[in-house]
Structure 1
């Protein structure tokens, strides 16, 4: 925790310096660049967006291979041990602070690659790139995907991007949805989305995953009803509390209604009740079926 606070403090110091020394950092406007300046490399000018895409994709693939290979080195394995149980690692004679320091240096190397690719893609680097919001977004994505699984942060980055790019075009309350999603992950799936996928591996190995699909489908339907109730409630609250100056009439999935009347709120309450009851029933079915599989196969399902 102390190490994390120190690194966060250093990040905030760099962010403050970016505003205090505009001659070096470019101030609030940042520093602009031009990726097509200079002689073409093998005829590649990076003027076309597709060329930049392939460059970024190549570096991402190389970085992923390098990181995966590193996890199988002695340092990578002891770093995983420090993450899971630092007290036991210290007991067997390793310096956990030094391990974390070396991992920090390595992570800064890959972060530098990401920053360089970002500068090439957007052709600008500003104070926002070193802000706590950007750093927090990266940590949020890693947690959502699952920091304990190698491909977890990749899943988290995809989900976070969908929230920030796709969902932000559909609703102004996208940050609220992201916050609620994060809270739900912390409360019910602390291992991240990747942990849910890894939990299915024993079922796949025992050829029992297909048996669970109907029960997962029922849970998905119940979750969809709860999601519909949440979306309807959030959008109506946002319309009434934030955007009421433009009237309370609104449209959702092509349906026009007035959020200032009782009818849509009654529908939302009914969806909440129906979704909650369906989820309790579907979750019980899933647990019962998992217990039955575990009993039949004699092991962890």
Structure 2
């Protein structure tokens, strides 16, 4: 008995699929709209705006690396160029050009896309190491030009502007941080949805095929070079939008916005979250921003901890934090996630102790090295002590060694529990 495509069962299934596709976006939009009610301070909105910009930037980078398999060391070029152009357009608005501020990211995106079109015309002919080295060279070239072409990049001082000089939009002049926040999340949702839909288009699917096996894609009649080029252009457009949002939020851009350090940072963010997962860069951007801003308020060594987290992720969880979460979907669906609760709980406390004691050791060592003469008192975890005394350092070392020993002893139990949770069994057994 066949089921008609117009039957109630098929129609109901289609509506359920559509609802499951739309619901996450609706929840995200509502959460972002209500977020200022929970975190309404100026500093909190600034952190969330920075997080949103990093998400757009990281998602655009994932279009290259995660979807197209193109490792780029110069992706900050397109964000920076889009941001600088947006800043000049902002100054033109101050000079009399009529342009509402919410439309400015379109110009940043188009400028980033224009240079992605030019650079991609020769850089996407080859993938792998060749493409990575070309992107590195382009990044160095544009960074050097930012010092030479002062009329566009502004030299060492950069280019600044005033976002409030444009026409008001529904009574908003975008002078307050809350108004800028809503403008930023509006473009965050638009850009994220655009990149998600692009990944579901035929060209987005073929980009995955070229990433996995470019020879087979070529044999099927698709030009691997054209597919990479189109993905490169789309990625440059969304990176330019991120640059425009940066210009709107901070009203200044400098050489730091397009140098190799920024390109390396977005590579780290994407890998940390999980390359290949659409939500991976989102997770990576949130974790990175929190480490950079919140943890940065308490310690100068936040970059060291971020580097350690990145190394641990690459070594032990190559699919990133999102991949680590995705690993547990299968045990959840099989109803075996309970097998992991007790081993994970037992592993949690020594892991936390190892992290805190290891951080304490590095903080004490840093304080001894950087503190002034006679300044030996320091406070850590709410405890004030003499950093030059032997017992704080010795305590940190002992707790770290004992914690690592316990983790090593528990690892076999965790592995056995994981094997049991992921074991599907055989039919008839």
- Deviation of 1:88 after TM superposition, in Å, equals 4.5
Residues 19-57 of structure 1 deviation map (CA, whole Å, 9 limit, x = unaligned): 112122111111111111022122221111111111110
Tell which deviates more after alignment, 90-99 or 193-202. Answer: 90-99
1:153-168 equivalence runs, <5 A: 153-168=281-296
Q: How do residues 175-214 of structure 1 correspond to structure 2 at under 5 angstroms?
A: 175-214=303-342
Alignment of 1:70-85 (within 5 A): 70-85=198-213
| CA–CA separation in structure 2 for the residues paired with 1:246 and 1:53 | 46
Tell me the distance in 2 between the aligned counterparts of 1:14 and 1:115. Answer: 15
Residue 297 (structure 1) shift: 4.7
The aligned residue for residue 119 of structure 1 is 247
Match of 2:397 among 254, 269, 287: 269
Partner of 2:126: none
1:15, 1:127 within 8 Å by CA — same for their partners in 2? yes
- The structural deviation recorded for 1:220 is 2.0
Q: Residue in 2 aligned with 1:291?
A: 419
Residues 225-247 of structure 1, C-alpha deviations (whole Å, 9 max, x = no match): 11012111110111122335453
Residue 90 of structure 1, CA deviation? 4.3
In structure 2, the residue corresponding to 1:134 is in which secondary structure?
A: helix
Aligned residue in 2 for 1:60: 188
Contact 2:275 2:320 in 1 (8 A): yes
Give the counterpart of 2:264 among 136, 144, 162: 136
Corresponding residue SS for 1:47: coil
Contact 1:11-1:131 at 8 Å conserved across structures: yes
The counterpart of 1:223, out of the listed 351, 371, 376, is: 351
**Structure 2 equivalent of residue 22 of structure 1:** 150
Contact 2:339 2:421 in 1 (8 A): no
1:32 aligned residue: 160
**Correspondence for 1:170 among 293, 298, 307:** 298
CA distance in 2, matches of 1:52, 1:144: 28
- Number of corresponding residues: 299
Say yes or no: does 1:8 pair with 2:139: no
Higher alpha-carbon deviation: 172-181 or 279-288: 279-288
Task: Tell me the distance in 2 between the aligned counterparts of 1:298 and 1:225.
Answer: 40
CA distance in 1, matches of 2:267, 2:140: 15
In the TM superposition, what is the alpha-carbon distance from 1:92 to its structure 2 partner?
Answer: 4.3
Task: Return 5+ residue gaps in structure 2 as ranges.
Answer: 1-128
Counterpart position of 1:151: 279
The alignment partner of 1:150 has SS state of coil
The Cα shift of 1:109 comes to 0.4
RMSD across aligned C-alpha pairs, in angstroms?
1.9
1:281 aligns with 2:412: no
Highest RCO, 1 vs 2 (Cα 8 Å, sep ≥ 6): 2
TM-score normalised to the size of structure 2?
0.66
Structure 1 length normalisation: TM-score?
Answer: 0.93
- Secondary structure in 1 matching 2:275: coil
Conservation of the 8 A alpha-carbon contact between 1:228 and 1:271: no
Most deviating of 265-274 and 188-197: 265-274
Structure 1 unaligned segments of length 5 or more: list them.
none
